[in-house]
Structure 1
Amino acid sequence: MSPSSFSSSPSPSPSPASSSFIEPRLLRAFVTVAEELHFTRAAARLYVAQQALSRDVRRLERELGAELFVRTTRQVTLTGDGERLLPYARRVLQAQDELLAACGQARPLLVDLNSPGLGTPRRVLHRARELAPEQELMARYESGLTGAAAELIAGRLDASFGRYAGLAPALRNQLAHQPVRWEPMAIVLPETHRLASWESVPLAELAGETVYAGAGNPRTPEWTDLAHRLFEGRGIEVAAPAPLAVGAEEFQRIMAKSGSPVLAVVSFPAMPGCVLRPLVDPVPLSPVSLVWRKGLAHPGLDALRRAAAETAAEEGWLRRPADGWFPAMDIALMNAHKRHVANT
């Protein structure tokens, strides 16, 4: 790779000609930052410290003799050299993945668990690791299935969990799914809320309340849509869009500030200063599927699918209670999957 491949300006020392080998790790760092245009988010995707990621990018720039990003306090953008490098770097990384797979060294399976501590995806992943200890199944946290779907289709993520019926048809056409659970829904309440002392909360008791359900979050419109369907005709309002609270501390602060209940599922992790109460009369059900891109072949995915099926059977996750509520479109897609499995 010659200096002129990226820039006609004089190259800082050392020049690209002095580097006979570029570590794939450096290219992966570059590609991730190029896709996120944000060093903090890129570091989170790679599970590395931001300082380490910045160090790798600077090292790659020195080895290539080209500046790849323009960094300011407000934004990160690709330079012309960075834009020219990006497709080459992606092809190198894809070739490396294919080489390792061909040699029997399958790459890790990247599994989105939606949110840290969320029970259903975590239990399936734990079971899959027990079934296939030789495979590396790496957890990721994309917040919602719509956000994860774009990553699945782009090949930057391998599997996720969520409401498959809530995805746009164009996304569903590129993805496969396996029903995992009809998960009872719940409400997160501040400890001071009038309903906090109740063991369960009838939906009718939420009439007149404004409930947060992720409105405005581009990663979770499938969840907001489920809330609208559930609340329709019950006098319950979906809270207006608000900044996403990341982490228990921020969640607690926002809850204390707004006082709004939050729509959740029964496996939602405990949060300080809040209580989780199941919803009843009727019991609203959140349909959870394991989702992956069509055509993906990976032994880790095989283990994940087996783990989902076994855990669902043992726990009765796909049995719907007699007083359960769910959207018609969701049951239609779940039943279509059941017929497809029966016919293959």
Structure 2
Amino acid sequence: MAELETRELEYFVAVAEELHFGRAATRLAIAQPALSKAVRRLESRLGTTLLHRSSRQVALTPAGEALLTHGRHALNAVGAAAEKARRAGDRQGRLRLVIKAGGDANLLSGILAAYARRPDARQVDVLFGGATDRADHVRDGRADAALLYVPFDDTTGLHHETLAVEGRVAILPPGHRLASRPEITLADLAQEALPRWKGVRWTGAPEGRPGPEVEDGAVLLDMIRLGRTVAVLPRSLALPARPGLVYRPVADAARSALVVAWAQDDRRPLVASFVAAAVEAAEEAEEADGVVSGAAGRGPAAPPETAGRP
């Protein structure tokens, strides 16, 4: 059976993604003839055609599409293994936490303080991810832990502990037909267009009526102000209220959970200590201001059949 080398996969994936040998060669910083020869050699070893070539275009064959899908996973796995090995050998033991800007339910300061009090505490590097990629940071080794919102973020391959559970708030443009109501329901939103988050298939729209594609919170708020969409977000992501927008609680929206997540195969004391500190900080916040968290907030997270995405 033919064996693939990491470099061969890198070359093929670059060509498959660019569908152009010249651009792929530039991306890889190698000569185009060498790249073309490498791909042909790979096809010969596999005994199948991966690319249809013509003077005008490059297209993937079914075999090429399959190799692109699995090749990406393989390269990601190799990269994750190398990163995790490097991190495991890091004697300084710095911990990397990835969060969404503003996506900590006001718990981050308390979490960092609780962790700093522990005798085994190490430096924490806080990384800021996008609306949809924070779990990937943990899966591929770029981060040791993440603050995620369940059920919105994909926690496949991760363990997590619930820190806070909260209701959801609808954000509406001024003059919207629902803006005068003290609270609204999901049924009220059934005909509204809700945003599609880039890279995520599920939109959360109650009737499957997706609105414009957005990449981050700033774009989302602009789209709402323009009347192109409305959004249903966890309360901690929706508040404090921004000028020129209307905020209303959604009475029957399933509650969402803020969780601290880490890789299922990561059993390092460094990570376990940080998770314990995060849970401790959430419990202290619950006692201080009534936020539903800790043991009171644990259990099944809200199902993804309702509305919104952070």
Match of 1:77 in 2: 27
Cα distance in 2 for residues equivalent to 1:89 and 1:201: 46
Match of 2:265 in 1: 295
Is 1:284 matched up with 2:266? no
Match of 1:217 in 2: 198
8 Å CA contact retained: 1:290, 1:305: no
Cα distance in 1 for residues equivalent to 2:178 and 2:223: 19
Q: CA RMSD in A?
A: 4.1
**Correspondent of 1:316 among 275, 289, 292:** 292
Flag as ranges the 4+ runs of structure 1 deviating above 4 A: 86-96, 163-168
Deviation at 1:71, TM superposition (A): 11
Match of 2:128 in 1: 140
Match of 2:145 in 1: 159
Aligned residue identity for 1:148 = R
* 1:124-174 residue CA offsets vs partner (Å, 9 max, x unmatched): 322121123352241322313xx3333322111222233556677xx63x3
8 Å CA contact retained: 1:175, 1:292: yes
Unpaired stretches in structure 1, ≥5 consecutive residues? 1-33, 38-69, 232-236, 330-344
Change (3 A) 1:220 1:304: farther
Compute the TM-score of the two structures, normalised by the length of structure 1. 0.53
Match of 1:117 in 2: 102
* 1:49-80 residue CA offsets vs partner (Å, 9 max, x unmatched): xxxxxxxxxxxxxxxxxxxxx998x9972234
* Partner-residue secondary structure (3-state), 1:161: strand
Deviation at 1:190, TM superposition (A): 1.0
* Partner-residue secondary structure (3-state), 2:131: coil
Deviation at 1:91, TM superposition (A): 8.6
Cα distance in 2 for residues equivalent to 1:239 and 1:135: 45
Cα distance in 2 for residues equivalent to 1:75 and 1:278: 53
Is 1:188 matched up with 2:171? yes
Match of 2:52 in 1: none
**Correspondent of 2:214 among 225, 244, 257:** 244
Cα distance in 1 for residues equivalent to 2:82 and 2:161: 32
Query: Superposed, which structure 2 residues align to 1:64-103 within 5 Å?
Result: 77-80=27-30, 97-101=87-91
Cα distance in 1 for residues equivalent to 2:214 and 2:304: 29
Deviation at 1:310, TM superposition (A): 4.0
Unpaired stretches in structure 2, ≥5 consecutive residues? 1-13, 36-74, 117-121, 306-310
* 1:204-255 residue CA offsets vs partner (Å, 9 max, x unmatched): 4334x3141x43532574xx3xx35xx3xxxxx344253324353x334322
Change (3 A) 1:148 1:328: closer
Match of 1:149 in 2: 135
Compute the TM-score of the two structures, normalised by the length of structure 2. 0.58
Aligned residue identity for 1:77 = R
* 1:55-112 residue CA offsets vs partner (Å, 9 max, x unmatched): xxxxxxxxxxxxxxx998x99722349x9xx9999998666544432xxx112x2222
* Partner-residue secondary structure (3-state), 2:109: helix
Cα distance in 1 for residues equivalent to 2:304 and 2:280: 23
State the aligned residue count. Answer: 228
Cα distance in 1 for residues equivalent to 2:184 and 2:274: 37
Cα distance in 2 for residues equivalent to 1:91 and 1:162: 23
* 1:267-297 residue CA offsets vs partner (Å, 9 max, x unmatched): 12433421222111x3531133221102322
* Partner-residue secondary structure (3-state), 2:167: strand
Cα distance in 2 for residues equivalent to 1:274 and 1:247: 13
Cα distance in 1 for residues equivalent to 2:139 and 2:165: 25
**Correspondent of 1:257 among 197, 212, 226:** 226
Query: Superposed, which structure 2 residues align to 1:330-341 within 5 Å?
Result: none
Change (3 A) 1:244 1:71: farther
**Correspondent of 2:114 among 121, 131, 142:** 131
* Partner-residue secondary structure (3-state), 2:130: coil
Q: What percentage of aligned pairs have identical amino acids?
A: 20
8 Å CA contact retained: 1:148, 1:219: no
8 Å CA contact retained: 1:178, 1:305: no
8 Å CA contact retained: 1:110, 1:157: yes
8 Å CA contact retained: 2:115, 2:277: no
